[in-house]
Amino acid sequence: MQARTGQQLAMTPQLQQSIRLLQLSAAEFEQELEETLSANPFLDREDSLRDSLRDPTDVPLEAGEQAGEQVGDAPGDLIDVITQPDTAASDWEDESSLRFDNPGSGERNGQDGDITQVASASTCLYGHLLAQLGVCRVSQRDRDLASLVIHALEPDGYLRSPLELLAAMCPAAEQVGIDELSVVLRLVQSFEPAGVGARTLEECLLLQLEERDDDTPGLELARRIVRGHLAQLAAPDTPRLLRALDCTDAEFASAYQLIRRCSPRPGQAFGADRTDYVVADVQVRKIGNRWLARINPDVVPRIHLNRSFVSMVREQRGSSSSPLGQHLQEARWFVRNVNQRFRTILRVAQAIVDRQSRFFEHGDIAMRPLVLREIAATLGMHESTVSRVTSNKYMMTPRGLIELKYFFSSHVESEGHACSARAVRALIRQIILAEDPRQPLSDVKLARLLGEKGIVVARRTVSKYRDAMHLPSVEVRRLSSASALAA
């Protein structure tokens, strides 16, 4: 038995809520906000019919208005700011002001349609196949068996369940045999997209090659490659494959292009019925000579404390310990944590923009190496806080919608300075796109060219970066060039 003294961080409910709100995406934060508004009577939202009926004297409470409550510094900052009119919408505030513009300025007028109404509803693979089955002149038994096969397909279009299993799923009185299911499967394989219902990659490619005209150049050779040399096709040893097939470079190039045009996952073109949309948390714009970030007004909630309910709690004795008093305290905490969430996001976003300003001017090739620790040290935050801020958060820039994590990348040593790995990948892509198609550059030559530019990387690093960008190897690019010249 002994006594010890020590310090330990206590995760209060307020701190836990602040951490949880910080790591939520814009859509998840909106859902959390709706749940909190429905559960807490002291919180009201202004972007509803209540706006036209709200008493103009119903304003947010000041900090410390109720004695004995510790609500932090200025819990109404966010609410006070976003309810003020936007007097200078064209001039954004920098990170030192930490103010958010009026969300109403970003609202669309009545003539602008909802973006969700513009997007057409996607058709799933199963619905597409069943629609084709509906116009086929087959018996009801074959139609039922074909429907069973269609529903057994994987989302990528493959049939990975054996026919014996499908036969066992049928009632014993129907006496469904394997041969009958094979005939029905062949019917499903004749549907669009070509290759659907295949059980192996080889069968999938052959089904798609069957759709070609018999006089297509290189068709017979392509079938030979798929049947017996598909594994060798993935290897970089093209001369050995040419000797095994006993064909010329031009013939092999034509067959290779036919195989490349086939889809290894025919069902991938049919997406799910639900489409998720990403909302930008931050907007970036150039003001003068500086790139500035601001919170997207459309994601800032316009919430306030209900003054009527607050007045009722004040009139009660011992209200701070009553259930209503606890709801009021939770409402104040929520307002403060929402305010803190957007302040932290804005500070981190502006710090990223300041360090990656050249990216907005010149693109990925000007990206500088950046790690979470650097932003955390600059802002005086913990590295985990910066990680939570940059997760599932997006920035609308002149170069498109970009996730905040995109701006962080490791560094590659170069002469006199460190270079971002993302910039190296962009430079590799630029060199490959500018190369002579008849004489493509190998990974060794790419590494040598990068070394001439002061970026020292190994050949394996170049191969890894090229594969990450889905750029074909030198052999594939050479074959593609030969096929294009032959055509």
Q: Of 343, 368, 388, which one is at a domain's C-terminal end?
A: 343
234 and 155 in a single domain? The answer is yes
Q: Distance between CA 408 and CA 389 in Å, rounded?
A: 13
How confident is the prediction along the chain (487 residues), in pLDDT tens digits per residue? 888 888 776 677 777 888 888 888 888 898 888 998 888 888 888 754 334 334 433 333 333 333 333 333 333 444 333 333 343 344 444 333 333 444 333 333 444 434 333 334 446 888 889 888 888 888 998 888 889 889 889 888 899 888 888 888 888 888 888 888 899 999 999 998 889 999 999 999 999 998 888 888 888 888 888 888 887 777 666 778 888 888 888 888 888 888 888 888 888 877 554 555 788 999 999 998 899 999 999 888 888 888 877 777 776 655 556 777 778 888 888 989 999 999 999 999 999 999 999 899 888 888 888 889 999 999 999 999 999 999 989 999 998 899 999 999 876 766 556 777 888 888 898 899 888 888 888 888 888 888 888 888 888 888 888 888 888 888 777 777 666 555 5
175 and 258 in a single domain? The answer is yes
Q: Of 327, 343, 359, which one is at a domain's C-terminal end?
A: 343
Quickly tell me which residue has 């039922």 as its tokens. 144
130 and 263 in a single domain? The answer is yes
- On whether residue 210 sits in a domain, the answer given is yes
Among 414, 456, 340, smallest CA distance to 19 is for: 340
Q: Cα dihedral angle (223, 227, 229, 231), rounded to 10 degrees?
A: 120
pTM of the entire predicted model: 0.59
Structural domain that includes position 293: 13-105+289-343
Supply the pLDDT for residue 296.
92
Quickly tell me which residue has 């013939």 as its tokens. 251
Phi and psi angles of residue 356, each rounded to the nearest 5 degrees, phi first? -115, 30
146 and 236 in a single domain? The answer is yes
CATH of the domain at 439: 1.10.10.60
256 and 171 in a single domain? The answer is yes
- On whether residue 302 sits in a domain, the answer given is yes
Sign of CA dihedral 14, 46, 60, 98: positive
Terminal CA-CA length for the chain: 88
Among 75, 74, 83, 12, smallest CA distance to 54 is for: 83
Q: Distance between CA 461 and CA 424 in Å, rounded?
A: 10
Q: What angle separates helix 219-228 from helix 238-245, to the nearest 10 degrees? A: 110
Residue 343 burial (10 A CB sphere; 0-12, 13-18, 19+): middle
Q: What is the CA radius of gyration of the chain?
A: 31
Among 165, 256, 169, 143, smallest CA distance to 209 is for: 256
Q: 387 and 271 in contact (C-beta within 8 Å)?
A: no
Q: 375 and 351 in contact (C-beta within 8 Å)?
A: yes
- On whether residue 163 sits in a domain, the answer given is yes
Quickly tell me which residue has 């003539």 as its tokens. 111
Overall number of domains in the chain: 3
Q: Distance between CA 294 and CA 422 in Å, rounded?
A: 25
HSE-CB at 59 with a 13 A cutoff on CA atoms is 11
Q: Cα dihedral angle (59, 80, 301, 324), rounded to 10 degrees?
A: -40
336 and 467 in a single domain? The answer is no
Q: Distance between CA 374 and CA 170 in Å, rounded?
A: 62
Cα-to-chain-centroid distance, residue 459:
30
- On whether residue 365 sits in a domain, the answer given is no
142 and 244 in a single domain? The answer is yes
- On whether residue 218 sits in a domain, the answer given is yes
149 and 101 in a single domain? The answer is no
Supply the pLDDT for residue 110.
40
**3-state SS assignment for residue 117:** helix
Q: Say how many C-beta atoms besides its own lie within 10 A of residue 269's C-beta.
A: 12
Supply the pLDDT for residue 68.
33
- On whether residue 367 sits in a domain, the answer given is no
| Residue 25, CA distances (Å) to 29, 39, 214, 341, 402 in order | 6, 21, 53, 11, 14
| Residue 75, CA distances (Å) to 80, 81, 333 in order | 9, 11, 8
Reading the block at residue 226, the tokens are: 């798929």
Q: Distance between CA 43 and CA 34 in Å, rounded?
A: 10
Q: Of 221, 237, 269, which one is at a domain's C-terminal end?
A: 269
- On whether residue 111 sits in a domain, the answer given is no
Residue type, 230: L
Q: Distance between CA 299 and CA 82 in Å, rounded?
A: 11
Phi and psi angles of residue 116, each rounded to the nearest 5 degrees, phi first? -70, -20
264 and 135 in a single domain? The answer is yes
* DSSP 8-state assignment for residue 138: -
Q: How many degrees, rounded to 5, is the angle at CA 106 between CA 29 and CA 23?
A: 20
Supply the pLDDT for residue 112.
40
87 and 160 in a single domain? The answer is no
181 and 296 in a single domain? The answer is no
Q: 253 and 479 in contact (C-beta within 8 Å)?
A: yes
Q: 188 and 179 in contact (C-beta within 8 Å)?
A: no
337 and 243 in a single domain? The answer is no
- On whether residue 8 sits in a domain, the answer given is no
Residue 277 burial (10 A CB sphere; 0-12, 13-18, 19+): exposed
